[in-house]
Amino acid sequence: VRAERFRGSDYRRYLAGIATELLFVIVLFAAGFLLIAAIDWVFIRWLT
């Protein structure tokens, strides 16, 4: 069982998993920032 027997290959896979999750959140932040920038631009350009 992977949860109990630690092998070198498991560690590498776990680290790759952590890196994937962190990368996902960074992409999410970037997308969120672009979304807010777009709303800001639309608001200033069209709605005020």
Partner 1 sequence: MFRRPKLQDWQIVGLYTGKIIVGVGLMMLVPIVTGMVFAEWSVVLDFIIGILVALTVGFGLQLLCETKREMNWMHGLVTAAASWLVAMVVAAVPGYLSGHYGSYLDASFDLMSGFTTTGLYLLQDLDHISNGLNMWRHLLTYAGGQGIIVVALTFLIRGTSGAFMMYVGEGKDEKLLPNIIQTARAIWLVSLTFLALGTVLLSAANFIEGMDPVRSVLHGLWIYMSSWSTGGFAPQSYSVLYYHSLMIETLTMVFFIIGSFNFALHWAVWTGNRREIYRNVEIISFVSTLFIIVSLGTYGLMQVEALSGTAAFFRTGFYQFASAHTATGLITIYSGQFVNQWGVLAMIASIIAMAIGGSAASTAGGIKGMRLGIIFKSFVTDIRRLMLPESTVVLQKIHHIKTLVIEDKQVRAAMTVMLAFIFMHLTGAILGTIYGYSFIEALFESVSAGSTSGLSVGITSPDMPALLKVYFILAMWAGRLEFVAVFALIGFVARIVRGR
Is 8 a binding residue for partner 1 by CB under 8 A? The answer is: no
Out of 8, 20, 45, 46, name the contact with partner 1 by CB under 8 A. 20
Position among 4, 7, 8, 46 found at the interface with partner 1 (CB under 8 A): 4
CA gap 6, 1 in Å, rounded = 9
> Alpha-carbon distance 38 to 41, whole Å?
5
Whether 14 contacts 22, CB under 8 Å: no
Per CB under 8 A, residues contacting partner 1 are 1-4, 13-14, 16-18, 20-22, 24-25, 28-29, 31-33, 35-37, 39-40, 43
